[in-house]
Structure 1
Amino acid sequence: MSQTGYQSFEELIVWKKARELKNELFQLGKAFPPEEKYRLTDQLIRSSRSINAQIAEGHGKRTNKDKIKYCTQARGSISETINHLIDAFDCGYISTEQLKRYRIRFDELEKILSGYIKYLRSLPGD
């Protein structure tokens, strides 16, 4: 945190963890068949990017109510991303073990995000 007490979104643990997963999924999508480039691969990349984008956008909002709204949308993007990973599994693009590992990591991310939302809710009103 800076000397002024302001913390950028890039310093948030939840944003860092989401970024790590987003980058891994980008690499994972490269291994999908070419015919999935504008279908599943694109959806997987978009939903994982949306997690980071929503956290960052919410962080820039003035009120805690708005911050919470965007974090809640990020939580929805986590669910969407898991759904796309299940689709990848159903199509045989990832293994049971890969799906299990990603589920565990996204569950962890969702818990961190929920903790951040709880923290925001505990702050004095806007």
Structure 2
Amino acid sequence: MGILISNHGQLEVYQVAFETAMTIFHISKSFPKEEKYSLTDQIRRSSRSVCANLGEAWRRRRYRGSFLLRLNDAEAEATETQIWIEFAVKCEYLDVETGRQLYNQYNKILGMIVKMTNNPNSWLLKSRNY
């Protein structure tokens, strides 16, 4: 028997995405000041946006299309974050091992999002006939 999930914060994918976004926030504090309005802001924004879109998807479970759209947005933001991680490694703001760990965390997040996307009916609210 599965655990009843009553809010987006209980979703495993949300929890992993939130923790990873917080790790990125703390790590990005050491990025150079000249990156403040470019790489630093972008990687923080996209990592947080994964969480925001998962929350929105959760609240849009009444409508399959809207739910899937938000999951798609979360997937796109996770991929964008991976790209910023690659830039941070290439610019030597992140060491290779830390970059690899973060990148792999987003692979895990992406896998969970794709699993939800491929099986949306188990997440959608059942319509009520009034």
Taking structure 1 as the reference length, what is the TM-score of the superposition?
A: 0.88
Q: Which runs of 5+ in 1 are unaligned?
A: none
The equivalent residue for 2:17 is 18
Aligned-pair CA distance for 1:37:
1.1
Alignment deviations for residues 14-73 of structure 1 (CA, whole Å, 9 cap, x no partner): 111110001000001101011111110000000001100011011111212211110111
CA distance in 2, matches of 1:86, 1:104: 12
CA distance in 1, matches of 2:5, 2:105: 28
Moved over 3 A (4+): 121-126
- Aligned CA-pair RMSD: 1.8
Q: Which amino acid aligns with 1:95?
A: D
Taking structure 2 as the reference length, what is the TM-score of the superposition?
A: 0.86
Aligned-pair CA distance for 1:120:
1.1
Helix, strand or coil at the partner of 1:7: coil
Q: Which runs of 5+ in 2 are unaligned?
A: none
Count of matched residue pairs = 122
State whether structure 2 residue 98 is matched by structure 1 residue 98.
yes
Q: Alignment identity in percent?
A: 26
CA distance in 2, matches of 1:51, 1:22: 9
The equivalent residue for 1:37 is 36
The equivalent residue for 2:108 is 108
Aligned-pair CA distance for 1:123:
6.4
